[in-house]
Amino acid sequence: MAQLPPIYDLMVLLSTAVEDERRARILADIEQTIADNGGSIELKQEWGVRRLAFEIAHTADAEYHLLQFSGPPALVETLSYNLKITDGVLRHRIIKVTPGTPPPPEPTAQEPAASSEPEPEPAAAGAEA
């Protein structure tokens, strides 16, 4: 019995400082690399622009994309190398999906940023009014 190729999750954070056309080209190149190396895309989600937990290369936000693909293990090495040297990619992570893993969540609208007003401090315990 032939064994199915493993499924991988690829999370890509693209810099919002580069042009839209360049970001679209990066995604097209990723898809082409997967196809050229014997893989196939199972799921593609655009999560939109989200704020980063910390700045990466002086960038405070990034455009998030999740691609789920199947293919041979050599594809992971090729894809990882290409993403490391591609300008416009802030971060990427490729994870092998194990059987029984729940599907990825649907992208939702990002919650609005917290108010810039400071929270009122609670009254000190034992303080008399």
- SS3 readout for 65-76: EEEEEECCHHHH
Highest CATH level, class, for 7-97: alpha beta
Structure-token pair, residue 115: 């108010």
Are 99 and 11 contacting, i.e. CB atoms less than 8 angstroms apart? no
| H-type alpha helices, 45-91 | 73-84
Indicate the pairing of strand 40-56 with strand 59-70: antiparallel
C-beta atoms surrounding 83 within 10 Å: 20
Q: Which residue from 57, 66, 115, 122 is spatially nearest to 92, judged by alpha carbons?
A: 66
pLDDT, one tens digit for every residue, the chain (129 residues): 567 788 999 999 999 999 999 999 999 999 999 999 999 999 999 999 999 999 888 889 999 999 999 999 899 999 999 999 999 999 999 999 888 777 777 777 655 444 444 454 555 555 554
pTM: 0.76
